[in-house]
Structure 1
Amino acid sequence: MRFRDELWRAMDGIYRQILRHPFLEGLTDGSLPREAFRHYVMQEAHFLPDYARALAACAARAPHPQAVHRFAADSARTVEVEHSLVVELLAAFGLDEVEALKSPAAPTTVGYASYLVRTCSLGTFAEALGAIVPCYWIYARVGEKLLAESSPDPLYAWWIETYGGEDYQDTVAGVLDLLDDLSLSAEERERLLERAVTTARFEWMFWDAAWRQESWPCG
């Protein structure tokens, strides 16, 4: 069994819950309230800079040049491609990024971003990889699944095509190849899997927070 298969088996139950979440079901059939998607996009504006920082920290801990290049390049790609998508989606709501960032990051966004940056900055490379790989892979699986069903809403279809498209799928395939080629001890594998399950849970929570339009419970 490839290590990627062991990793996916650890996350599969959470992934299935993600697919059944009304946020993603609403993306596919077009019934998702625009306010929920707007909340999601605004939280992405807060989240992506820290995601890029986590990728850069992962590159700094990488054991060989190929892995350094992979995660450093993907950190830059996050800023260039995914950030650009967020800016364009914000514009579709009549917002610019400066306006969006005036609204506070929601509790789940703060927790998820903090977890990634802390793990990738202070943990071992295996722990950093465990924290970061589900961010790639779950989005790729979700994008691939939703792309097969498409969406009648052009805004939602645009988002789906980004993560279901060939370019993003190729990026994720490269990360999974790197994962399979690593030589890890049994303890390192266990710690990687633990971090991955936590990140997968945060992925569900991030979409759920957008569905609920989560805000802080006190001022």
Structure 2
Amino acid sequence: MAFTNQLWRDAAQLRRAIHAHPFNKELAAGTLSRDAFAHYMIQDSLYLQGYARVLALGAAKAPAADEILEFSKAAEVAILVERALHAGYLTQFGIDAREAEAANPTPACEAYVNFMLATAITDSFSVLAAAILPCFWLYLDVGRAIGAKSKPGNFYQAWINTYADESFAAATQRMKDIVDLAAKRAGPKEQASMKAAFLRCAQYEWMFWDSAYHRRGWPI
């Protein structure tokens, strides 16, 4: 069994929790609160700045030219392509995109970004590659599931289309291939660290959606 398939199996409970979360169930039905989605989009703008930095650090650590290119391109996509998606929704909400990118991160957003940045700086390329994979794979999984049952006229269709798209699926597969290759180069201890990083980031993905749904900020 491929290493990434083992990771996916180990994350089964987390994946079920993500699909069952009211944020994603209501997004699929088009009934999700606009305030909750606006909160999510602002936090996602902040997250993507950090994620792009993590990907850039991955490019710097990558052992081969193809991996350098893949991480570099992914960093560019995180800033350019997904910023366009955010801008469309933020405009409808009357929120300036530059103000969104300068907003205060929630505990969930800050913890997730800081965990990945720390991983990028202190851990190996293999562990970093495993840490960035949930953001690709879980969004593809959710996008496809929601896309299969979304009704016409869904306000959130542009978001759904972004993550159910075949080009995003292809990018996810390339990242899975990189993680599988990295796992082959790694020993048992490093593979265990890869698994731990993957599962921790999958947990952070659930927390990110949950924080947006409840519009959680800092308690004090």
TM-score by length of 2: 0.95
1:159 is the counterpart of 2:159:
yes
- Give the deviation of 1:153 after TM superposition: 4.8
Report the residue type matching 2:205 in the other structure. Answer: E
- Give the deviation of 1:181 after TM superposition: 2.5
Aligned-partner Cα distance in 1 for 2:38–2:145: 22
**Which position in structure 1 is the counterpart of 2:211?**
209
1:14 is the counterpart of 2:14:
yes
**Which position in structure 1 is the counterpart of 2:115?**
115
**Which position in structure 1 is the counterpart of 2:41?**
41
- Give the deviation of 1:133 after TM superposition: 0.8
Deviations 1:139-167, CA, capped at 9 Å, x for gaps = 11111111111245533111010000111
Residue segments in structure 2 that go unaligned for 5+ positions in a row = none
Identity of aligned residues (%): 33
**Which position in structure 1 is the counterpart of 2:188?**
186
Aligned-partner Cα distance in 2 for 1:83–1:12: 30
Aligned-partner Cα distance in 2 for 1:137–1:66: 20
DSSP 3-state at the match of 1:200: helix
Deviations 1:44-71, CA, capped at 9 Å, x for gaps = 1111110000011111111111111111
Aligned-partner Cα distance in 2 for 1:48–1:67: 20
- Give the deviation of 1:129 after TM superposition: 1.2
Residue segments in structure 1 that go unaligned for 5+ positions in a row = none
CA contact (8 A) 1:29 1:152 kept: no
CA contact (8 A) 2:30 2:155 kept: no
CA contact (8 A) 2:46 2:103 kept: no
Structure 1 moving runs of 4+ over 3 Å? 151-154
TM-score by length of 1: 0.95
**Which position in structure 1 is the counterpart of 2:139?**
139
